[in-house]
Structure 1
Amino acid sequence: MSESCDLNGVYQFHGDTFEVTPTVKADFDKYGYIIIRNLLDVEEVDKVIKEFEDPSTAELLNNNKVKVSDCQGREAKMTIWGHPGNDVSGMISRSEKVAGTCEQLLGDEVYHYHGKLVTKEPFTGGAHLWHQDYGYWYINEILEPNMMTVFIALDKCEKRNGCLQIIESSHKCGRLDHKLEGQLTVTDPTRLDKIMDRFSMKYCLLNPGDALFFHCNLLHCSGQNSSAYRRWALLTVYNTVSNQSCKPHHHPQYIRLEKVPNTAIKSCDKFTDFTDKRILVPKTFDSKQVIPKTPA
């Protein structure tokens, strides 16, 4: 397996829109991801950080955090919500440059499956093992892997603070079996070794505002945060309308996503209104559904 930071499918956000050209779509289909640099500009990043650092919001998030141990004395933390809401982070998840881009990449109308703030704090942030997101969502009886995640860096993501690692084109291998190792879920190691022999592993080095759009079957992991710098990221998961779960579970069924223009992010002044987001309380999770999710 080769290791590199030389990513494919990297694009730059310019102006007010992002066009999913045939080349962009071909890169997503081939590699299982694209990266859009500066999807959020400095003002937009500052706004969402202001929201999550607001004392009242921070208290709410802290009271509902899922802590995931990596069995090496460290842990990653996340707060998960079911609906985008009308706050700043909700405007990002509902924006054309995020949700609209996902619709073009998946070729279908999408809805908000869930969102989360994932944090790796300095010196204590834990690792996540190699996995596919669809390894979890398959258990929720979602029949097709027509789903994707948008990972938006709120802090600089580097090797030393646990940036994402991906295996290019691994989404073409289909859904792999997963098993629990402590609180983490990891894919079948025998199959993983063979995949890593064939495909390239890449480090996703991101600056604040950069976004990774990736397919739900793309293998990914992340290391521990051994640095003095935190690693915060906003993640939004989308499912396609035709791919609803066959059973009710802790994530929402289809609710039409009311997309907003990209300008709605900067015009939004709601930093503490989580009323409509439906935060998932950890104690309500069903352990049979392999929860908590370990996204990155």
Structure 2
Amino acid sequence: MTITDTKIADLYPTRSGERTEVLDRPGPVVHGTAADGPMDAETLRHYEDKGYLLIDQLITPAELDELRAELKRLSTDPDARADERTIVEAQSDEVRSVFDVHRTNAVVKKIANDPRIVARAEQLLGSQVYIHQSRINYKPGFVGKEFSWHSDFETWHAEDGMPEPRAVSISISLTDNYSFNGPLMIMPGSHKKYISCVGGTPEDNYKQSLVMQGAGTPDPQTLTDFADEYGIDVLEGRAGGAIMFDSNCMHASNGNVTPFARSNVFIVYNSVENTCVEPFAAPAPRPEFVGSTDFSPAGS
């Protein structure tokens, strides 16, 4: 199945106006119930309210070792480094991310289709899910750069044609996340508001945005207002644990100036009832390795 040119009303306009606008998000965040999957009602309420949930230990020590071995191998493999799916830091030339790993890497493919993850995503989204994007993120000690504040959905809507924020990301920690080595930061509750950003989308914007977020980044005053209203949660956790968060959460991470790397496997699940159409605010869709057009259900 692939992207179609079906016309869908744009409920989340962005990158077209002259000033930033904050819009209410219509519809639910959680589409399933406690009876639909492994998570209880309290966990689902927390996700509905805060936009994220923590899983203390998702994968086994053996699985963690296996994923860490792939993390190391991919960062040093010359063929992998030369592939367009590998993004390197602009200054240090260290690997920043390797995309499309659920299709190119057998170890990640297995975990991406694992019922422990897929069942949670299906419960949150209320349907079968497919993998919109996957990557291994590296944030090596001393040189790992920051990710600016942004909503993933704003980018996926504008540049990939995702109609609604009926998607969830999971970050599986391959290293310990400390408060000081660039962990994920989320403004809890921010997922219930949508920031319509100013400025257009440059051609082939992904080449810049995968290295450093540009188009689709909210202005400082709006971010300040959000931080004042929602606060900032710094999400620490041990290797082998995971964070699941709503696609519209305002999130970021600091650079890593410590000796301790912060790396993770990152997988995006989108509802099969929310498949992508033509981009809403970009001249053309991003490449397949960034936004998949294979809508086959995960885990099947």
- TM (norm. structure 2) is 0.73
State the Cα deviation string for residues 248-273 of structure 1 (Å, max 9, x = none). 5422224323417xxxxxxxxxxxxx
Select the residue among 214, 222, 227 that pairs with 1:196: 227
- Partner of 1:131: helix, strand, or coil? strand
Question: Is 1:184 matched with 2:220?
Answer: no
Tell me the residue number matched to 2:299.
259
Question: Which residues of structure 2 form unaligned runs of 5+?
Answer: 1-36, 202-207, 279-284
Question: Is 1:236 matched with 2:255?
Answer: no
Counterpart residue identity of residue 170, structure 1: S
Tell me the residue number matched to 1:173.
193
Distance in 1 separating the partners of 2:198 and 2:114 = 33
More strand by share: 1
State the Cα deviation string for residues 53-104 of structure 1 (Å, max 9, x = none). 23798334322321355x9x89771111175457111111101111211110
Tell me the residue number matched to 1:20.
39
Residues 1:178 and 1:135: Cα distance change in structure 2 (over 3 Å):
farther
- Partner of 1:51: helix, strand, or coil? helix
Tell me the residue number matched to 1:126.
145
Tell me the residue number matched to 1:66.
87
- TM (norm. structure 1) is 0.74
Question: Which residues of structure 1 form unaligned runs of 5+?
Answer: 1-17, 261-296
Counterpart residue identity of residue 275, structure 2: Q
Q: Does structure 1 retain, via aligned residues, the 8 Å contact 2:101–2:108?
A: no
Residues 1:116 and 1:165: Cα distance change in structure 2 (over 3 Å):
same
Distance in 1 separating the partners of 2:106 and 2:78 = 16
More divergent stretch after superposition (223-232 vs 187-196): 187-196
State the Cα deviation string for residues 129-179 of structure 1 (Å, max 9, x = none). 111101210112211111111001101111322111111011011244266
Residues 1:45 and 1:228: Cα distance change in structure 2 (over 3 Å):
same
- Partner of 1:231: helix, strand, or coil? coil
Tell me the residue number matched to 1:145.
165
RMSD between superposed Cα atoms in Å: 2.6
Alignment of 1:203-218 (within 5 A): 203-218=234-249
Counterpart residue identity of residue 252, structure 1: S
Distance in 2 separating the partners of 1:206 and 1:58 = 29
Aligned residue pair count: 241
Distance in 1 separating the partners of 2:123 and 2:115 = 10
Alignment of 1:33-72 (within 5 A): 33-54=52-73, 58-64=77-83, 65-69=86-90
